[in-house]
Amino acid sequence: MTADVWLPIPPDEIEGLPEGLRYLFWDGGESGDQEFPGDPADCAVYVVPYMKRWPVKVRPLEHLTHVQVIQTLTAGVDDVTARLSAIVPGVRLCNARGVHEASTAELALTLTLASLRGIPEFVRAQQEERWRGAFHPALADKNVLIVGYGAIGSAVEDRLVPFEVARVARVARSQRTTARGPVHPLTELPSLLPEADVVILCTPLTEESRGLVDAEFLARMKDGALLVNVARGAVVDTKALLAEVESGRVMAALDVTDPEPLPPGHPLWHAPGVLISPHVGGPTSAFLPRAKRLLVDQLNRFVNQEPLRNVILTTGA
């Protein structure tokens, strides 16, 4: 059986791919119905197309009867895990840790600064040719709480350091100690939220984190606090968030929403104190070189039968 690798980046544009595999280009096409590049039964490694609709990403899964590795180009893998029943047992599912930290952390900081400093108001005033000064809070001297302290959460803290924040508190699923200080478990969130001026969500979407930011979570946030979401839209209860922002008690900067894409007419579009970007944490000029390096490393490991990086789970295990 030929060992094929389905790549969403043309193989001739990736230097360093190991010999011994047949590389086929497949990204689903513009309409999502692109023909498969070869026999799915021959595909050993499926690299999931990036920035494609969910039905396009998962369309090949039930046909990949001999696949050994599914490699996403996203940090989150919830779109694939939602179709685990279609995947044969023994398949290693790997995420793209190391690809999106820089660009997502940049956006988290951008959204935080833009919201605090009133940049949307200045843009609207510029469009109306009005010179309108205002007093806005600074990021300096603020307490920041990072919820989801993995690779992206750590990268966010790297970028917060030069801004003279008063304190960074870190939360993850399990308690641990880092060079920068303790990481608190999720169970300590209720006591940490009232002290935070800025809450940045970086957590992956799991059954535990789905709806984590509910009415109780938001009620514990201090008046005037800012919620920044660069995780997944479903981490936040949209109805509960709308109630808080429409009252003017908290602000929000959202790169992800639930539903997503946010449909025309949705009240989040015009809710006071809400800044929205269209899920653009990852797609920047930083993506392609890092994605290529990840693929070259993983495929060399695969050929040489070395442990793969970023294995999230093995199906059927």
Q: Residue 41 carries which side chain, given as an amino acid letter? A: A
* pLDDT tens digits along 40-88: 999 999 999 999 999 999 999 999 999 999 999 998 898 899 888 889 9
- What DSSP state is assigned to residue 285? T
**pLDDT band, residue 31 (cuts 50/70/90):** confident
Given 66, 136, 270, 279, which residue is catalytic? Answer: 279
Q: For tokens 């498969």, name the residue.
A: 36
Active site residue 279: yes
Asked if residue 130 has pLDDT above 90, the reply is yes
Those residues whose C-beta lies under 8 Å from the C-beta of residue 202, and which sit 6 or more positions away, are 104, 108, 146, 147, 148, 149, 150, 152, 153, 156, 230, 231
**133-157 in b/e burial notation, b at 16+ Cβ within 10 A?**
eeeebebeebbbbbbbbbbbbbbbb
Tokens of 265: 């007419």
Residue 149: both structure tokens together: 């302290």
Task: State mean pLDDT over 211-224.
Answer: 98
User: What was the pLDDT predicted at 33?
Assistant: 87
How, if at all, do strands 251-254 and 226-229 pair? parallel
Whether the CB-CB separation of 106 and 152 falls below 8 Å is answered with no
For 218, residues 6+ apart whose C-beta sits below 8 A from its C-beta are 227, 240, 241, 243, 244, 250
Identify the pLDDT of residue 1.
52
What span, in angstroms and rounded, lies between the C-alpha atoms of 192 and 187? 10
Given a cut of 70, whether residue 180 has pLDDT beyond it is: yes
CA atoms of 142 and 157, how far apart (whole Å): 13
Which residue in 64, 54, 72 sits closest to 89, CA to CA?
Answer: 64
Q: What CA–CA distance (Å, rounded) separates 140 from 312?
A: 36
- Produce one character per residue of 175-190: b if its CB has 16 or more CB atoms within 10 Å, e if not: eeeeeeeebbebeebe
Contact 79, 51 (CB under 8 A): no
Predicted confidence band at 30 (pLDDT cuts at 50, 70, 90)? confident
Mean pLDDT of 88-101: 95
Non-local CB neighbours of 130 within 8 Å, separated by 6+ positions = none
What is the widest separation between alpha-carbon atoms in the chain?
Answer: 69
Q: What is the pLDDT of residue 76?
A: 87
CA–CA gap between residue 107 and residue 183 (Å, rounded)? 22
d(CA 196, CA 80): 34
pLDDT score recorded for residue 74: 93
d(CA 152, CA 102): 8
Residue 5 three-state SS: strand
Cα dihedral 117, 269, 238, 262 sign: negative
